[in-house]
Amino acid sequence: MHSQAAELDQLSSVATSAPPLAQPLLQVDRVGLQYRTPHSVVQATHEVSFDVHPADCFVLLGPSGCGKSSLLKSVAGFLPPAAGEIRLDGKIIRQPGPDRIVVFQEFDQLPPWKTVLHNVMFPLLASRTLKRREAEQRAHHYLDKVGLTRFADAYPHTLSGGMKARVAIARALAMQPKMLLMDEPFAALDALTRRKMQEELLILWEEVRFTLLFVTHSIEEALVVGNRILLLSPHPGRVRAEINSHQYDLQSLGGAGFQATAQRIHRLLFDEGKEGASEAPAPINFSDVRFSY
């Protein structure tokens, strides 16, 4: 008998077997998020807690509407919690700040009249983080990291979607934030480019070791990109399970362990409350699992 409780036990035992870590960088503590409209209150999440440690690639995974983006917005400082609190380095987050930079999927928001170099320099200058000369040096440094040195003088409309994604990542990293927040950053890209960007993100992370909070609804992407994954239940989002996934990367795709973990996650997300479900789950299309509730 393959019960949901057994699945959770199995997955959470993986999560708890890791050695104890230093003080978390980010602490999300029993956070409830709400939207007030003129006619109603929408509860987006309920008592969600998780910790993110320095150099984690921490993924929020769950069905559409479970509050992933809302959690990210709240960590960014745009949506104050209605309950609980969020702390960065022990200090309560009350507003946006240059220590948390968000990368969205709309890379076309790169100002088209600025070259790639000036796009990367812009936040450094606008926030008065650096003077022009230092900003230029730092921008070149991160453009090199994402392999765009040759395109420093190009304009965004001449770049492919993947290249625009790399500019957006270089621009965010150049600010040297404590955390990089990514909301479905590769969702608008075609499957091959998306895979390539996941690979590049992992290579970049190996080199720079930034701390990442990443939102996706693709199980495959979560396993590849994340070293820890928080599974959220459908609306309003509650924590379903937290798992370690550092053992997986793009080379693991299709492997038995990867597939088994993906199927366990799938059961946890889809078969909630279904008696005796999931003994023989339906095959999953790993390329892009989308949830719909």
Ligand X SMILES: Nc1ncnc2c1ncn2[C@@H]1O[C@H](COP(=O)(O)OP(=O)(O)OP(=O)(O)O)[C@@H](O)[C@H]1O
Interaction site with ligand X (CB under 6 A): 35, 37, 42, 44, 62, 64-70, 217, 235
Is residue 70 exposed (0-12), middle (13-18) or buried (19+ Cβ within 10 Å)?
buried
Which stretch of DSSP H or E encloses residue 193? helix 191-208
Residue 231 CB, nearest approach to ligand X (Å)? 12
Residue 83 vs 154, nearer CB to ligand X: 83
Residue 228 CB, nearest approach to ligand X (Å)? 18
Residue 3 vs 109, nearer CB to ligand X: 109
* Length, in residues, of the chain: 293
Residue 152 vs 215, nearer CB to ligand X: 215
Residue 66 CB, nearest approach to ligand X (Å)? 4
Residue 73 vs 267, nearer CB to ligand X: 73
Residue 71 vs 223, nearer CB to ligand X: 71
DSSP letter for each residue of 225-240: H-SEEEEE-SSSB-EE
Whether residue 12 contacts residue 241, with contact meaning beta carbons closer than 8 Å, is answered with yes
- 145-146-150-156 Cα dihedral, nearest 10 degrees: -140
Residue 139 vs 230, nearer CB to ligand X: 230
Distance CA 15, CA 18 (A): 6
Torsions phi, psi for 73 (to 5 deg) = -60, -40
Residue 182 CB, nearest approach to ligand X (Å)? 12
Distance CA 173, CA 142 (A): 7
Residue 283 CB, nearest approach to ligand X (Å)? 23
Residue 221 CB, nearest approach to ligand X (Å)? 12
